[in-house]
């Protein structure tokens, strides 16, 4: 059978290649092998368009040393909430997109034999408006091209929504100084503080997860 890879996944592949031009591709995958062909898999061209089979899955090799951290890519894709995503599999976990038979954007255990430790699997929906959408993907990866210097270990706690105390107060003051967030400096990490953190992370090309760890602290304090 003649087949092709979904256009949206080819766009993703091209973006990843631009981000990490020297990356290892040994675990990349598009069309499935014989093992995939023997079972239900999005690597198989399981439906056709004008007589051409459509493959709606791609794998991308984990190669952090050359700029392609598959785990960070998985997190960035899930954080993007892109409507094209059917599901993402990474390091023994799977996360479904919208309108699937599982809760959307919630990581759960993956029970398949391949835990996807050496690559991340991305499947797109079988609706043409999704699988052939050539819009570039929003890849706000946690590690920018130049990896920032880490602040001294233990210099700050990791903060997230619900945290309270003097460190949250310091965080709010830094956000106000850096970006005019207009936050009340009350030491309470609520929704307004979380929104300001995500906005700051996006501006600094960090993963916008709303959690304040070493990379975010470093950017806020000018140490990275």
SS (H, E, C) 20-61: CCCCCCCCCECCCCHHHHCCCCCCCCCEEECCEEEECEEEEE
pLDDT at res. 64: 87
pLDDT at res. 204: 81
Buried-state track 49-73, b at ≥16 Cβ within 10 A, e below 16: eeeeebbbbbbbbbbeeebbbbbbb
Determine how β-strand 52-55 pairs with β-strand 3-5: parallel
Average pLDDT over every residue of 182-187: 94
Determine how β-strand 47-49 pairs with β-strand 57-61: unpaired
pLDDT at res. 1: 67
Distance separating alpha carbons of residues 167 and 188, to the nearest angstrom? 10
Closest CA to 219 of 163, 176, 165, 178: 178
The pLDDT confidence band at residue 223, using thresholds 50, 70 and 90, is low
The pLDDT confidence band at residue 143, using thresholds 50, 70 and 90, is very low
Kindly list the structural domains of the chain, giving each domain's residue range(s) and its CATH number in brackets, ordered by start: 3-131 (no CATH), 143-224 (1.10.101.10)
Evaluate the CA torsion angle 100, 105, 111, 115 in order and state its sign: positive
Question: Tokens at residue 66, please?
Answer: 């050359």
Closest CA to 74 of 89, 56, 96: 89
Distance separating alpha carbons of residues 149 and 36, to the nearest angstrom? 42
3-class secondary structure, 73: helix
Distance separating alpha carbons of residues 121 and 107, to the nearest angstrom? 14
Burial of 34 (0-12, 13-18, 19+ CB in 10 A): exposed
The pLDDT confidence band at residue 135, using thresholds 50, 70 and 90, is very high
Cut 0.85: pTM above it: no
Q: What are phi and psi of 78, to 5 degrees?
A: -65, -40
pLDDT 10s digits, 36-78:
444 567 988 888 999 999 999 999 999 988 889 898 899 999 9
């Amino acid at each position: 059978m003649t087949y092709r890879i979904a256009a949206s996944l080819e766009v993703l592949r091209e973006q990843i290649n631009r981000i990490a031009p020297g990356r290892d591709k040994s675990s990349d995958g598009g069309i499935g092998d014989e093992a995939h062909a023997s079972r239900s898999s999005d690597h198989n061209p399981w439906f056709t368009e004008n007589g051409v089979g459509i493959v709606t899955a791609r794998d991308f090799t984990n190669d952090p040393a050359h700029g392609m951290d598959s785990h960070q890519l998985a997190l960035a894709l899930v954080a993007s909430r892109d409507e094209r995503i059917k599901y993402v599999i990474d390091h023994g976990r799977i996360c479904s997109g919208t309108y699937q038979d599982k809760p959307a954007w919630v990581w759960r255990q993956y029970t398949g034999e391949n835990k996807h430790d050496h690559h991340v699997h991305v499947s797109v929906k079988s609706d043409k408006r999704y699988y052939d959408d050539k819009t570039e993907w929003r890849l706000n990866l946690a590690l920018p091209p130049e990896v920032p210097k880490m602040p001294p270990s233990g210099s700050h706690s990791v903060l997230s929504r619900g945290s309270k105390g003097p460190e949250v107060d310091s965080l709010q003051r830094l956000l106000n100084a850096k970006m005019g967030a207009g936050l009340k400096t009350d030491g309470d990490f609520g929704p307004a503080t979380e929104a300001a953190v995500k906005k700051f992370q996006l501006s600094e090309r960090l993963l916008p997860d709303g959690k304040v760890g070493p990379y975010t602290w470093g950017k806020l304090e000018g140490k990275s």
